[in-house]
Structure 1
Amino acid sequence: MARSARWHDKVIGLLRAGNPDAAIAQMKVAPSVRELRSLQEALAESQLAGRWRNVDQALADAIQDLSAPRLHRSP
């Protein structure tokens, strides 16, 4: 199954549109840690990391939560 766009591109689009609350909501329902880490890297590359303190904290919390071995989202 091919994806039309990468997940982190959609979240970055929300941030660029000025909607950090929607971006945080998307982080809370992220499909996997891999997706969150790719978002973290994409934010650093696009120089958006550190612009929104609450977004950075939500991203760190989501990575920590999904990194726990017993917490995961089923496909």
Structure 2
Amino acid sequence: FGGSIGVYAMDTGSGATVSYRAEERFPLCSSFKGFLAAAVLARSQQQAGLLDTPIRYGKNALVPWSPISEKYLTTGM
């Protein structure tokens, strides 16, 4: 497939770390979405109603070919 991988892990109890190619930068593309969803769900445990609050954005925030975001431009998501 021609891809590259890097890993960084930390034991939150001891602070010990292990890494492989941690000094390099890698494109995340869509792989960040799982982490983002986990962070939002964790935050929603402390912030009641968070998941019911629409996110509003302006046309200037859209990137080319954003059909779903464009559809909800006036109402938010």
**TM-score normalized with structure 1 length:** 0.25
Structure number with greater Rg is 2
**TM-score normalized with structure 2 length:** 0.25
More helix by share: 1
